[in-house]
A and B are shown apart, each in its own frame.
Chain A
């Protein structure tokens, strides 16, 4: 009666996505939701939407979170696996297209290229310190022209004579666009030019030095933009595959990872998490001069997870604060290491040693 299913949650910079799959990898439900800057409430709203749709016979046997908010989301829902988004996206693409050799993934703040050979990831690259060439670039330009991002996509497709726009940096692109607009270029041409600029930036920055071979799978939020797909087709002179669940591939991959990681008993805190009042509280560790800002995730006065530490003594721990403080990095001391006089000591061990400071 109880049918097993697996939940994948992708908490990205712009959107929060959930996917529920059956054991064989078939997608049962998908939710794409643009977040408004609060990952916890986004996850809760996603779960609330799911609980409305989900029939009672399904029971969630495993949860995996991914995306830049994966650790926080993992603490909120009680994830069994927490996986980076690069691996999650690759898993999903390989599940749908086992012969894929390149994955383009452009999201809100990150853009990645993953190189696959013979069904395994062999190389990947991610944008470095600059966010040009990502969804936020398009978003900010669309906002400046006072149109929606969907409009930008459909208008760009109409262009027959795209104009050339500098794509190295969002700031340069903006001033370039204004110049083009002031000398009278058509809006649709400017938009297609913008798509071309983003693709040019992506290919020269992120894909620099990588061998791009078809079949190319294009996923992530930006893959819904047909102007970008067109620009990729024109630049690479090959067909670009847009997978059916292109917007939620990260969550799909996460769900696949959960399904395949042979979880015996899930740590999932139940879909009712959506209705709980979950908050965060920050404090400064202060055990050493690193002064890490530790974030506690609290569910009705009960600490369900911590993030933000550098040395590992706070990460994911739920014990009382005073018991963890000063315990050095990670975990309790194992019995074997307690025999050694030095390793056994769990007193104040700073991650950073200062000399001469206290004497002043």
Chain B
């Protein structure tokens, strides 16, 4: 069996693994960067690059050690350094004397090179693609349900347990029929978690660099920490939504960037790369929608997110919404991160109390 290593984008890796099967090969992946991979990546990468790149690199080195021959890397069309990372990672791996071959997603003529290389038949190709789309949709739903349930659950850990269980089933599901069954079961399972119906959880938006929004290892399980503090989250990276945007651009010529830059107009007129414009626009939107606060995840060395930091400070002041800046680096211990998040939750609770008393 041929294996291909795919980058970790949190739980969506499960769906991507199905997509890889469309090429007639198997995926080699995990839903979060393992600490071992991170260690390998940090030692192999140049010191000043951002942590997501190190995580990707480490993942591929780990894959090569496991005997995986191929790897796949997203090259973003944004202006962030990520678009060069495929070449950079390819070279670093080559310098290290590793054999793993890296594909990008670019088009070359009609077919992307990756499709041409493996050359699957048209029929075997289509079905897994539809299956992937379905899985992405299910994972989107799971994520949203988890954010809603976690802060109000009566027994701490219920949501995470249900979520993990469903994800395991989803990763094992090989047919569209079983994925549909999981989708139905998911709705029922989340409904059955005993919750405190009178509780009004604080609402917090999560914005920032996408690998950090999604990868539990990199962000030190921020969704779990905030959720168990009684905070309802909204994580502004849902792969389903992102793909919808792409199809909207292709089919209807509706660019979401235009929409976002209209919201952020007073603060930022152009995209600075990555998801930085999204961070600003979503913060403004959340402030208008009455969210209690925002958390901005920013790996140190991430060019776009570092650029919008001062802008977010201004937004915070103008719109009177607390924005917590989280700067991540190669921490191995989550204590400092938990301290900041707990204190932030305390601040939000006090604000809420004050608003109610007014």
Contacts and interface: CB of A to CB of B under 8 A. Distances in A.
B325 to A, nearest CB: 7
A343 B343 contact: no
The prevalent SS among residues of B at the interface is helix
B334 A352 contact: no
A343 B160 CA distance: 10
Interface in B325-358: 325, 327-329, 334-336, 338-340, 342-344, 346-347, 350-351, 353-354
Given A329-B157, A355-B27, A290 B217 contact: yes
A360 B193 contact: no
B157 A313 contact: yes
B143 interface: no
Interface string A297-321: 0000000000000111100000000
B141 interface: no
Contacts of A359: 1, 26
A120 interface: yes
A337 B3 CA distance: 38
Nearest to A210: B313
B157 A126 contact: no
B189 interface: yes
A84 B327 contact: no
B29 interface: yes
Contact of B221 (A126, A311, A349, A350): A311
Nearest to B167: A353
A350 B164 contact: yes
A187 interface: no
Contacts of B220: 310
B316 to A, nearest CB: 8
A220 interface: no
A349 B29 contact: no
Interface in B138-185: 154-158, 160-162, 164-169, 171, 185
Contact of A121 (B28, B329, B347): B347
B300 interface: yes
Contacts of B287: none
B66 interface: yes
Contacts of B221: 310-311, 351
B75 interface: no
B291 to A, nearest CB: 16
B61 interface: no
Interface residues of B, number: 71
A310 to B, nearest CB: 6
A122 B17 contact: no
A311 B221 CA distance: 8
Contact of A349 (B31, B168, B228, B322): B168
Contact of B313 (A86, A209, A329, A339): A209
A352 B155 contact: no
A331 B157 contact: yes
A360 B3 contact: yes
Given A123-B322, A209-B310, A360-B66, A352 B31 contact: yes
B214 interface: no
Contact of B327 (A85, A110, A128, A340): A128
Interface string B27-57: 1111110111000000000000000000000
B194 interface: yes
Interface in B274-329: 300, 310, 313-314, 316-317, 322, 325, 327-329
A328 B168 CA distance: 13
A342 B189 contact: yes
23 contacts: A84-B338, A85-B343, A86-B346, A87-B346, A122-B350, A123-B322, A123-B347, A125-B325, A128-B325, A208-B313, A291-B35, A328-B160, A328-B165, A331-B155, A336-B194, A337-B155, A340-B189, A343-B161, A343-B189, A351-B164, A353-B168, A353-B171, A356-B29
